[in-house]
């Protein structure tokens, strides 16, 4: 091989390897610092395309899970109101039976039992007007659709519109005056029917709550699976990449040293010119 001053092939090759090794070192540092195997589309274009779709799907499913959770919270709060309605109706039934006490006169019945019964009757009306974050629990407009899947199918669970204010089972036990209880305007059958009706509302509410809980569990399982798949595509293997980092660091140092060595080769030409 000729000795040339103008062209140092060895130094050029060493510099090329140095640049390549430095690029690989920078890429390894980028992966380890970000925790991602794919830091640019050039690393794995196909994997990145799949990962982007998965990530969008995961975000949509998380939003769906939150929506379902809000629906469950709505039903849980409505269950609490229905429970209170049941307790009020039970107390009203108890008061209804207490009017048969022969030791109490008409005035006493109206002033004590009838007055409390009248207050509880009004309390039923108040409970039926309760809301959850400005959303009515009961009434003709209390039906809501909860989406349980983030897809074009638009799978939903329809929450039943409960409207006890329009049900005779409730209105039959509500009174306008304290004397209505003593006068037996409300019958024993009316009381039993009201309690049974409220129990059926609670059962319907619990059924919908259970359906939403299963739906949320399904969505969360999908999120878990997709997240694991996304991790396998995007996440860097720390152990493997750490080993690669050490390798690239050594190669950079070695190639830099060889560039220096190659540059010193031309010093031999000076000896010949002396």
DSSP character string of 121-133: HHHHHHHHT-EET
- pLDDT reported for residue 103: 65
Task: Answer for the pair 235, 43: CB distance below 8 angstroms, yes or no.
Answer: no
Name the residue ranges covered by the structural domains of the chain: 9-35+237-273, 45-234
**Is the pLDDT score of 270 beyond 70?**
no
Confidence category of residue 97, pLDDT binned at 50, 70, 90: confident
Q: Is 235 helix (H, G, I), strand (E, B) or coil?
A: strand
Check if the beta carbon of residue 197 is closer than 8 Å to that of residue 177: no
Token pair for residue 45? 């274009």
Whether 8 has a pLDDT exceeding 70, the answer reads yes
CATH, domain 45-234, list 3.40.30.10, 1.20.1330.10, 3.40.50.12280, 1.10.1060.10: 1.20.1330.10
Cβ distance 147 to 130 under 8 Å? no
Give the number of C-alpha atoms closer than 13 A to the C-alpha of residue 167, restricted to the C-beta side: 22
What pLDDT does residue 4 have?
Answer: 65
Q: How confident is the model at residue 232 (pLDDT cuts 50, 70, 90)?
A: very high
Task: Choose between 120 and 141: higher pLDDT.
Answer: 120
Q: pLDDT tens digits, residue range 165-222?
A: 889 999 999 888 878 777 788 888 999 999 999 999 999 999 999 999 998 999 999 9
Does pLDDT of 155 surpass 90?
Answer: no
Placement of tokens 């939003």 in the chain: 63
The reported pLDDT for the residue numbered 150 is 61
pLDDT attached to residue 22: 92
Backbone angles phi, psi at 71, to 5 degrees: -65, -40
């Amino acid at each position: 091989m000729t000795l040339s001053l103008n062209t140092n092939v060895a130094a050029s090759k060493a510099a090329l390897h140095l640049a390549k090794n430095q690029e690989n070192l920078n890429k390894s540092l980028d992966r380890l610092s970000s925790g991602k195997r794919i830091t640019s589309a050039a690393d794995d274009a196909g994997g990145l395309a799949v990962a982007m779709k998965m990530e969008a799907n995961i975000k949509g499913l998380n939003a769906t899970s939150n929506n379902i959770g809000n629906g469950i919270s709505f039903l849980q709060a409505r269950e609490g109101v229905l429970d209170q309605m049941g307790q009020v109706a039970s107390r009203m039934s108890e008061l209804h039976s207490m009017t048969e006490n022969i030791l109490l006169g008409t005035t006493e019945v109206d002033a004590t039992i009838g007055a409390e019964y009248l207050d509880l009757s009004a309390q039923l009306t108040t409970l039926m007007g309760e809301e959850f974050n400005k959303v009515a629990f009961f009434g003709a407009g209390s039906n809501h659709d909860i989406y349980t899947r983030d897809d074009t199918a638009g799978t939903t669970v329809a929450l039943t519109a409960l409207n006890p204010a329009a049900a005779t089972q409730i209105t039959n036990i509500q009174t306008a005056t304290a004397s209505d209880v003593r006068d037996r305007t409300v019958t024993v059958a009316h009381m039993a029917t009201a309690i049974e009706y409220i129990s059926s509302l609670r059962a319907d509410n619990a059924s919908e709550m259970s359906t939403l809980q299963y739906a949320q569990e399904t969505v969360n399982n999908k999120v878990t699976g997709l997240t694991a798949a996304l991790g396998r595509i995007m996440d860097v293997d720390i152990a493997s990449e750490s080993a690669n980092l050490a390798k690239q660091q050594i190669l950079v140092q070695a190639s830099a040293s060889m560039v220096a060595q190659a540059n010193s080769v031309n010093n031999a030409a000076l000896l010949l010119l002396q």
